[in-house]
Amino acid sequence: MVVLHWTTTRHGQPPTWRRAHATTVMNPQPGTSPPVRSCLLWIIPPFPRTRPRTGPLAENAEDEARFLVHSFCEVVQHGRVWTTEVTVQEMRAETVTYSDTAGEFTHAGLYYSLEGFSPGNSAPMSLEELPNRHQHPLVLPEHETDNTEYRQRTKRARLIAELPRPHIFRGQLWGPVGARAFYSIYVSQRWTYNPFTENGMWVLQDGRPWEVIIGERVKGEG
């Protein structure tokens, strides 16, 4: 059995293994010889996500667009237990933008996956110059939107309509430096005064997802 021990720190900070850290069992992959073990990790950056990461309001945006993942393996074999040395991997965020020149969309979502891994990730994209409290309406379990929330969401649509064009949506995708990421953007028009005008579409590159190497700057699409 192989158990992966891992933790995260800000860039330039050492890990503290005596504190609580995450562990994940690494499973052998079929058809590999010698056996190759791997696992999937859901990693949260070691800093609060309450402040915007891009735009004029961002604080320490460069430092908070990267962090480190420290890990080592605990091996249990034939009654013996030993550990490997620590490895360090830098994680970075790439900023993706979409320019809505016509100003017709109210929402945008970023969908991406890393090469070689089938599970995908989704992240809402923020709209420049829209107040933070109107960026992303809450989604709660077993909840039905009431009249107050309808009014708040239609107010959001009105504020967006009053913004200067083009409307710039921004989102971030995360991954190890050097990894290849594939992404697409879904834009939609929701919570408007006329529900019959609500619609959405995928933003692709010649019918395929966009591609970027983590650590290289992503230019705006759209």
pLDDT in tens, 100-156: 999 989 999 999 998 866 678 888 999 999 998 888 877 778 767 777 777 888 888
Cα of 53 vs its chain's centroid, Å: 12
Stated length of the chain:
222
| Distance separating alpha carbons of residues 102 and 160, to the nearest angstrom | 12
The pLDDT of residue 56 is above 80: no
Q: What is the pLDDT of residues 175-203, one digit of tens each?
A: 999 999 999 999 998 765 555 556 889 99
Cα of 105 vs its chain's centroid, Å: 21
Q: Which of 184, 181, 178, 175 is nearest to 203 (CA)?
A: 184
Backbone angles phi, psi at 180, to 5 degrees: -95, 130
Task: Specify whether the CB–CB gap between 2 and 20 falls below 8 A.
Answer: no
Task: Specify whether the CB–CB gap between 96 and 123 falls below 8 A.
Answer: no
The residue-averaged pLDDT of 42-51 equals: 71
Residue 54: band (very low, low, confident or very high) from pLDDT cuts 50, 70, 90: very low
> Rg of the Cα trace of the chain?
21
The pLDDT of residue 174 is above 70: yes
Task: Specify whether the CB–CB gap between 110 and 98 falls below 8 A.
Answer: no
Kind of pairing between the strands at 200-203 and 167-176: unpaired
The residue-averaged pLDDT of 26-40 equals: 89
Please give the full DSSP string across 9-30, using - where no structure is assigned.
Answer: E-TTPPP-TTS--EEEEEEEPT
Q: Which pLDDT belongs to residue 43?
A: 84
Q: Which pLDDT belongs to residue 64?
A: 65
Q: Which of 125, 72, 136, 73 is nearest to 99 (CA)?
A: 125
Q: Which of 84, 47, 85, 91 is nearest to 68 (CA)?
A: 91
Q: Which pLDDT belongs to residue 142?
A: 72
List Cβ neighbours of 147 (8 Å cut-off, separation of 6 or more).
none
Q: Which pLDDT belongs to residue 71?
A: 96
Which amino acid is located at 92 in the chain? R
- Extract the runs of DSSP E, i.e. beta strands, from the chain: 2-9, 22-28, 37-38, 66-77, 80-83, 87-100, 107-114, 121-124, 126-127, 167-176, 180-188, 200-203, 210-213
